[in-house]
Structure 1
Amino acid sequence: MHSPGSPPRDGSSSSFATPLKRTGTHSRQQSDSRPDQKRTKLNSTSDQVVPRMSKVAGKRPEIVDLTKPPTAFQPHKGAKKLVIKNLRTTSRANDLEKYYDATRKELLEALQAIFEQKQPRQPLERLYRGVEDLCRHGASRELYETLRERCETYLKNDLQRSIVAEAGSSNVDTTIRSVFSYLDRSFLLSSKEFQQINDMAITLFRRTVFVASQPSSPSPGAKTLAGMCDLVDYDRRADARFDPALLRDSISMLHILNIYGKSFERRFLDASKKYFEEFANEQSSASLKVYISSCEKLIAREDYRCNAYNFDSTTKRQLMDDAHAILIDSYSEKLLDSGSIGKLLDENALDSMKALYDLLRLSGIQKRLRQPWEEYIREAGAAIVNDTSRGDEMVIRLLEFRRSLDLMIRDAFNRDDEFTYSMRQAFSSFINDRKVLSAWKTGTSKVGEMIAKYIDMLLRGGLKTIPKSLLSDAQDRVDAEQSGLASTGDEDAELDRQLDQALELFRFIEGKDVFEAFYKQDLARRLLMGRSASADAERSMLAKLKNECGSNFTHNLEQMFKDQQIARDEMASYKSWCEGTGQGKSSLDLNVSILSAAAWPTYPDTQLIIPEEVATQIERFQSYYTNKHTGRRLTWKHSLGHCVIKARFGKGPKELLVSAYQAVVLTLFNQIEDKPDGFLAYQQIAEGTGLSGPDLDRTLQSLACGKTRVLTKHPKGRDINSTDTFTVNKAFSDPKYRVKINQIQLKETKEENQETHERVAQDRQFECQAAIVRIMKSRKTMTHANLVAEVINQTKSRGAIEPSEIKKNIEK
């Protein structure tokens, strides 16, 4: 028999005991332990053994002996009739209903206590058992309705007043779910009609708090949403009233109540848009640098807040879209202003430019930055190449400018290839601008000349001649290693990289014939004077030029290197000949370089009165060479000669490394060595050396007015006059035994420079005429415009020619 106090486990409702069919002599069942019930004894009516016939279909009847004590229940073996003694004759239904009523009352009292934040009078376990009994009794629906009604009443009255008065924490939901968990797991879990307790509580709370009872009075939830927006505003304005924990919990509550998207998101986004518009309006009056920094910080804070306080991802995306549209798109004219961007680039503001690029990329308009970027490069580059007062620094300034732009692309523009392409387009534009020709009045590319001179400086002096700003940094070394190139930490590799940088500028030049002419002159001086810092660097540069411009461009340059090797072999043969003929050794060690006239630059012939001993050695070599090579003629270029002479001064002997002109002038003073007031006048030196004009002036100035003064000029001064006199500076001293006096051959005069440009321009005319004839012969008939266009196309690699010049050549 089931007692009302203990929950049945089979899910059925309670019922009275019924006769049991069971075999056995005596059977007893323990009654419920409740105090208001008595134990009932179940005794068999007879102790006699009653045999019973059992018949199973298909089998014969068999007799079952009931005298043996049973060991277990055996079906089909018959049963004894049981009689319940002392059985109550009154119905127990009333008792059960009283129990269920009492249980309902206890649950209602417990609910009220829970709502009042008090401990229920009954233990929670007994309350749980009561819920279970009611559910087994079939009162689940009734129990759910009662619970929902009481919760709704509590929410509308007590809790709502508490929320309005002062928000506080509560464990009401947890306690109720614990007490009614059996209802939740048994009846509500499989019910499609009713919500589970948690969902029901959330629905009631949402309906009570966030739905206004009257249209005129806002609900407590509306005030909560407004307060959450205020919290965000406090955070944006760095207000001390901001409570991060409260904002985080509030967002979580909205997610739990499932009203985040419907009630809060739109309100929050509208408030944010107003704030962004106010912020942009305030900051727009500031400089571009300040505006970029402010927008960058604002967007970073908004992104952090969305992640830190559990805002929905869709909210974050819409918030960022609004921020980009208001802060960036609406103020794109300010962000892309050429003048403001030019100032940032002049200041080399990497951080600001990176922030600007990132901001524009957020709205997908970073490509519009290319236009002010190109304008700045063209203007700044043109200012450098047109600065006639700093022509010697032109290439270094261009390379420093290019270096800063490369770093900007690498560190600020995320290595965007489009900005690299724009930079190259801008460089090509200002380097080949016609205004450059008018500024320098050379008629040909001044940039080509200066690039050739810069490469000459590198190949003569190495890395010590360039500023540190052009040297590789740590990131360049990393990039070089990743690309498989030689490490820039090595001096040779760094020099090779600097040559590559110069070659980058060379690629922009349309008129490469100017570069070729000046590079050829400088290479000749380096080879003849032995001034190359690295033979490997010379060969590397030649290979680069050949790869860039083809073998026709470097044919004469390669021949110059071959002539140097042939000259060394020729001098070895000459010395062997001298020893074989018994000429003997002379105090003068002569070294002659045989040059091919077609490959080397053209040098003027000068008349020089050389010392007799030197003249004898020259005649001997000329006799040897003409006998060996019939039909060849030697032309001596004394202006390129250099030698080492021994000199005696008051503080000791020295060896002077000088040019041939300087050596001839110094040897004249041997003639007046014994005279106490020995001096030579300007005119005497001119007659004794055969030099005159600028050549003599430059020679005397290098000996008497330079840094190393082995002669003394009277009167003192930096300029050489025809009335000056010169004496040996016997007080000359130098810590080195071999003293190198500034070699005038390495310095180019203005006349030589102008002559080179004129020669290049004249060669262009010849090339233009040759192209015209070549095109006319091949095409026979074509329009004048097409002929001009074809001539420009065929001659552009050597140098740009004006259409008017082409027209004149066509007429010729």
Structure 2
Amino acid sequence: MSDRKIIDLESGWDFMKKGISKLKDLLEGQTEAQFNAEEYMMLYTTIYNMCTQKPPHDYSAQLYERYREAFNEYINATVLPALREKRDEFMLGELVRRWENHKLMVRWLSRFFNYLDRYYISRHSLSPLKDVGLLCFQALVYTEVKRVIKDAALSLVEKERDGEQVDRSLLKKVIEIFVEIGNGDLNDYDKDFEAFLLKATASFYSRKAAVWIQEDSCPEYMLKAEDCLKHEKERVGHYLHPSSEEKLLREAENQILAQYEQQLLDKEHSGCHALLQDDKTDDLSRMFRLFNRVPNGLQPVSEIFRKHIENEGMELVKQAENAATAKKDSSKMKDGSSSTEQFFVKSIIELHDKYLQYVTECFLNSSLFHKAVKEAFEVFCNKAIAGSTSAELLASFCDNLLKKGGSEKLNDEGIEETLEKVVRLLAYISDKDLFSEFYRKRLSRRLLFDKSANDDHERSILTKLKQQFGAQFTSKMEGMVTDMQLAREHQTRFEEWLSENPGKKPGIDLTVTVLTTGFWPHYKFIELALPEEMANSVEVFKEFYEFITKHRKLTWIYPLGMCHVQGHFPSKPIELILSTFQAATLLLFNTDEKLSYEEIKERLNLPEEDVSRLLHSLSCAKYKILLKEPAGKTIATTDTFQFNEKFTDKMRRIKVPLPPMDEKKKVVEDVDKDRRYAIDAAIVRTMKSRKALAHQQLVLEVVQQLSRMFKPDFKVIKKRVEDLIAREYLERDADNPNLFRYLA
């Protein structure tokens, strides 16, 4: 096999130059004749042969250099002159064309010189042919024109921002050059274009915002802001690199929103407060969307929201207070709570519904706005109305909702929904233990006097309270409801026992409700001297109860009893519904025509205050079943009483009311006592686990433990600590009087 003919450098390069010339003509549009397969193979083979000849005829190094020179020569002779004679958009168009041509030239030439890439370049760790081609353009063209094209491109962006139509596809291609010139690295794009774009964006929106804030209302300003941000986002999609989106929007947001937030929110007649005042939910949603984009941008909005709710709530408090004062004597309802206060609770519930809906729909359930609602409601929900605490008002509202004949005419679903809302409001009340006690008192009245409209609703609210505040909160109330069920069963068994023992008939129809002491509110035990008719029936029930249970003691709570007594009046018989005390009083007049105050007191064995209330209800109030001497509206210990034979009424059955007792004072006293025990327990619990603790730390831990049910007073905690020291549960440190130690 004969040796291959040596190709020397110059003759081989002359052949390659012809191919390069044809490529240039193709790029310049001077010929349309493409390279055929034979031409391509000849050019490739020439390079291959010149690189595979034995030294000194291996021209790989020289060809690598001449490859670079071919680009430089073309750029200097053709590309740069063409670019230098054009301006603005025309220059951008020329640059895009030249860049596309350059990439084409790189692709073809790197194919012809491909053998260099495969062996020489990899062996000597040199830049690949493709990179060399790009570096030539970067060094000669990009370096010269980058500032000019950046200015021209930014000018087009600004025109578009001002509403002019621009050639987006041209812009996209120009910006792609900034990206592609880095060959996978965005450094050139970032420093040569994006940095200037961000500066121009800040400047543009700074100018715009300064005008809008003076001329536009808050909603108009926000519409423009939202529109601009939307367009900036679209701009990235149309021609900028995706990496610019966040930075670009941040610049715009900073200038349009962050710089003017407070001014915008405080705008008179159209700022955040006005939008809340006028229920502009769409604008509030937009405000949330916009300021959610700014770091801490929602904080001022939520603060205005909190203040607004607080003001509205305080206004309701003020209105209720004024109305309650005006109607103090005239608008009392049967249960002692005024319609004004019922209306106040309803208004608070409506206010809560309204602003929770705002939080859900306008503020996308943001925890910041939930917190604002909570803080605002905690302020006015803990205000007293006409001397009644919110805890009492809520308990009273529930009572009105759940008792027969309450003023709220709602269907089952409406009652359930309202109960749910009351429980939610209760979360804002600091004295939850006070609510619990008031609620228990009213629940006991509903259950004992058969005033409860629906057992399911009674159980339902207890379930809701239990879920919200724990089993301990409702254990006694649940016990009361269960007790009533057991009491009904006892009554059924009593009636069965009576039918089995005919000789034990009590003489009157008797219904007894047996309760468990620990569940029910504390009721005063009074040893009433029962009239014979009643005493006999009580003895019969005692015998029955001892028969069915062992070692259980019955305590009779007469003040809670009710009696139906048949009054035989000359005009017509009237059925009287009375308390046990009232009935016992009237039965005395079956045997005596006239009795003095002192005689009645002695015969009934009752305290003076109870006797006065009883006699007042029977002789001075609406129904004068007894006649008093001397006549008058107050009871004196010197008065005498007799049966009023002339008494009559249009009804055949009447209920004779007793003047209501002030239960509130008793409830508050009971709660205060329970609180002292709770504080003692919390102090001992804390000290037992810590052994030694400073005064301030102890107070903080006790407050933290108890705040779920009530806010303990610091002075009371201090008193309880002193008491526990006296009872030798704790001691003061000998060297530091502010340090306490637990005594095991």
Contact 1:564 1:593 in 2 (8 A): no
From 244, 250, 256, give the equivalent of 1:327: 256
Q: CA offsets per residue over residues 202-254 of structure 1, 9 Å max, x none?
A: 45555565555xxxxxx5x5453333223333443443x13332222222122
Counterpart residue number, 1:298: 228
Whichever residue aligns with residue 392 of structure 2, its letter is E
Describe how 1:780-791 pairs up with structure 2 within 5 A. none
Counterpart residue number, 2:664: 757
1:252 aligns with 2:176: yes
- Name whichever of 393-402 and 765-774 sits farther off: 765-774
Task: Summarize the Cα distance change of 1:772–1:728 in structure 2 as closer, same or farther, 3 Å threshold.
Answer: closer
Q: CA offsets per residue over residues 161-194 of structure 1, 9 Å max, x none?
A: 4677673657744664566445431347745799
Task: Summarize the Cα distance change of 1:589–1:148 in structure 2 as closer, same or farther, 3 Å threshold.
Answer: same
Contact 2:491 2:511 in 1 (8 A): no
Counterpart residue number, 1:311: 241
Task: Summarize the Cα distance change of 1:756–1:251 in structure 2 as closer, same or farther, 3 Å threshold.
Answer: same
Query: Whole-Å Cα distance in 2 between the matches of residues 467 and 223 of structure 1?
Result: 76
Counterpart residue number, 1:509: 429
- Residue 403 of structure 1 deviates from its aligned partner by 4.0
- Residue 561 of structure 1 deviates from its aligned partner by 5.2
Query: Whole-Å Cα distance in 2 between the matches of residues 619 and 115 of structure 1?
Result: 124
Counterpart residue number, 1:526: 446
- Residue 365 of structure 1 deviates from its aligned partner by 1.4
Contact 2:402 2:454 in 1 (8 A): yes
From 61, 76, 86, give the equivalent of 1:152: 76
Q: Extract unaligned runs of 5+ from structure 2.
A: 51-58, 183-187, 324-339, 546-552, 567-574, 579-616, 625-647, 682-694, 723-744
Counterpart residue number, 1:225: 150
From 312, 328, 334, give the equivalent of 1:380: 312
Query: Whole-Å Cα distance in 2 between the matches of residues 374 and 107 of structure 1?
Result: 78
From 424, 431, 449, give the equivalent of 2:392: 449
Task: Summarize the Cα distance change of 1:634–1:571 in structure 2 as closer, same or farther, 3 Å threshold.
Answer: farther
Query: Whole-Å Cα distance in 2 between the matches of residues 232 and 659 of structure 1?
Result: 93
Counterpart residue number, 2:30: 118
Contact 2:562 2:577 in 1 (8 A): yes
Counterpart residue number, 1:671: none
- Residue 396 of structure 1 deviates from its aligned partner by 3.3
SS of the residue 2:295 aligns to? coil
Query: Whole-Å Cα distance in 2 between the matches of residues 162 and 772 of structure 1?
Result: 88
Task: Summarize the Cα distance change of 1:590–1:160 in structure 2 as closer, same or farther, 3 Å threshold.
Answer: same
Query: Whole-Å Cα distance in 1 between the matches of residues 237 and 34 of structure 2?
Result: 46
Q: TM-score, normalised by structure 2?
A: 0.59
- Residue 132 of structure 1 deviates from its aligned partner by 4.5
Counterpart residue number, 1:569: 490
- Residue 268 of structure 1 deviates from its aligned partner by 1.1
From 336, 339, 346, give the equivalent of 1:396: 346
Contact 1:128 1:180 in 2 (8 A): no
Query: Whole-Å Cα distance in 2 between the matches of residues 551 and 174 of structure 1?
Result: 79
Task: Summarize the Cα distance change of 1:346–1:194 in structure 2 as closer, same or farther, 3 Å threshold.
Answer: same
Contact 2:494 2:544 in 1 (8 A): no
Query: Whole-Å Cα distance in 2 between the matches of residues 269 and 795 of structure 1?
Result: 55
Contact 1:499 1:541 in 2 (8 A): yes
Query: Whole-Å Cα distance in 2 between the matches of residues 178 and 772 of structure 1?
Result: 86
Contact 2:438 2:667 in 1 (8 A): no
Counterpart residue number, 1:215: none
- Residue 301 of structure 1 deviates from its aligned partner by 3.4
- Residue 149 of structure 1 deviates from its aligned partner by 1.5
SS of the residue 1:387 aligns to? helix
Counterpart residue number, 2:549: none
Query: Whole-Å Cα distance in 2 between the matches of residues 760 and 510 of structure 1?
Result: 16
Task: Summarize the Cα distance change of 1:290–1:147 in structure 2 as closer, same or farther, 3 Å threshold.
Answer: closer
1:430 aligns with 2:353: no
Contact 1:288 1:335 in 2 (8 A): yes
Contact 2:68 2:132 in 1 (8 A): no
Query: Whole-Å Cα distance in 1 between the matches of residues 676 and 363 of structure 2?
Result: 47
Q: TM-score, normalised by structure 1?
A: 0.55
Task: Summarize the Cα distance change of 1:347–1:592 in structure 2 as closer, same or farther, 3 Å threshold.
Answer: farther
- Residue 277 of structure 1 deviates from its aligned partner by 1.0
Query: Whole-Å Cα distance in 2 between the matches of residues 642 and 557 of structure 1?
Result: 33
Counterpart residue number, 1:719: none
From 284, 292, 296, give the equivalent of 1:365: 296
Whichever residue aligns with residue 429 of structure 2, its letter is I
Query: Whole-Å Cα distance in 1 between the matches of residues 715 and 277 of structure 2?
Result: 37
1:267 aligns with 2:212: no
Whichever residue aligns with residue 306 of structure 1, its letter is V
1:538 aligns with 2:458: yes
Contact 2:71 2:133 in 1 (8 A): no
Contact 1:460 1:526 in 2 (8 A): yes
Query: Whole-Å Cα distance in 2 between the matches of residues 173 and 770 of structure 1?
Result: 90
Contact 1:248 1:309 in 2 (8 A): yes
Task: Summarize the Cα distance change of 1:596–1:256 in structure 2 as closer, same or farther, 3 Å threshold.
Answer: closer
Q: CA offsets per residue over residues 284-305 of structure 1, 9 Å max, x none?
A: 3444445445434433432343
Q: Extract unaligned runs of 5+ from structure 1.
A: 3-7, 16-95, 213-218, 469-490, 606-614, 644-657, 662-689, 698-724, 730-740, 775-784
Query: Whole-Å Cα distance in 2 between the matches of residues 158 and 346 of structure 1?
Result: 65
Contact 1:556 1:600 in 2 (8 A): no
Q: CA offsets per residue over residues 636-677 of structure 1, 9 Å max, x none?
A: 86878799xxxxxxxxxxxxxx9948xxxxxxxxxxxxxxxx
Q: CA offsets per residue over residues 95-119 of structure 1, 9 Å max, x none?
A: x99x869747744763563354121
How many residues are aligned here? 575
Contact 1:329 1:363 in 2 (8 A): yes
Query: Whole-Å Cα distance in 1 between the matches of residues 445 and 13 of structure 2?
Result: 121
- Residue 580 of structure 1 deviates from its aligned partner by 4.2
Larger Rg belongs to? 1
SS of the residue 1:284 aligns to? helix
Counterpart residue number, 1:84: none
SS of the residue 2:452 aligns to? coil
From 3, 6, 25, give the equivalent of 1:13: 6
Q: CA offsets per residue over residues 406-425 of structure 1, 9 Å max, x none?
A: 45555665655565455444
SS of the residue 2:662 aligns to? helix
Describe how 1:460-479 pairs up with structure 2 within 5 A. 460=403
